[in-house]
Amino acid sequence: MTPPDTLRPVFTETFPPAMDAGILYISIPYRTCGHLCCCGCGREVVTPLSPAQWSLTYNGESVSLAPSIGNWSLPCRSHYWIRDGRVRWSRRYSPSEFDQNRDRDRRLLAAHDSGEQQPGRAASLHRRLWFRRP
């Protein structure tokens, strides 16, 4: 399978039984996105939309996800950004960086779930979780 260099948004309530490469499935009711890993390995990648996880920006044609997609638990360990529908590759992380990122993500999610405020993060997270339509 040739890895895609772009992802086309498809808005759907639920994901199909088999995802197609090059498509970013977006479920607003379930606040989740899904796609096949952009490295071409064929693994499904699910990105929950929440202030402590990923945010989606839609400009009427293309989408961006923030922060980056770090597939630390997949064998490929791919790491990329989805910006304006284009796949932008990031550098490879070392094993210690994988661990640091996982720990940070777990802390942020736990703090969000418990209602704790992270210093300086509230405004940033609020700005990240917005859905823009033309």
100 domain residue, yes or no: yes
Q: Phi-psi bin for 65: left (phi > 0), alpha (psi -120 to 50), beta?
A: beta
Query: Mean pLDDT over all residues of the chain?
Result: 81
Instruction: Return d(Cα 81, Cα 38) in angstroms, integer.
Output: 10
- The answer to whether residue 22 is domain-embedded is yes
Task: Tell me which residue has tokens 């770090």.
Answer: 70
Could you tell me if residue 46 is inside a domain? yes
In a domain, 124, yes or no: yes
- State the Cα–Cα distance between residues 32 and 98, nearest whole angstrom: 23
**Per-residue pLDDT at 124:** 39
Dihedral angle computed from the Cα positions of residues 107, 114, 127 and 14, in that order, rounded to the nearest 10 degrees: 90
End-to-end CA distance of the chain: 34
The number of distinct structural domains making up the chain is 1
Residue 18 lies in a domain: yes
Please tell me whether the overall predicted TM-score, pTM, comes out greater than 0.85 for this model.
Answer: no
Q: How far apart are CA 35 and CA 123, in angstroms?
A: 29
Domain assignment present for 3: no
Residue 134 lies in a domain: no
Q: Establish if 42 belongs to a structural domain.
A: yes
Task: Give the domain extent around 123.
Answer: 8-128
Across 80-95, average pLDDT = 88
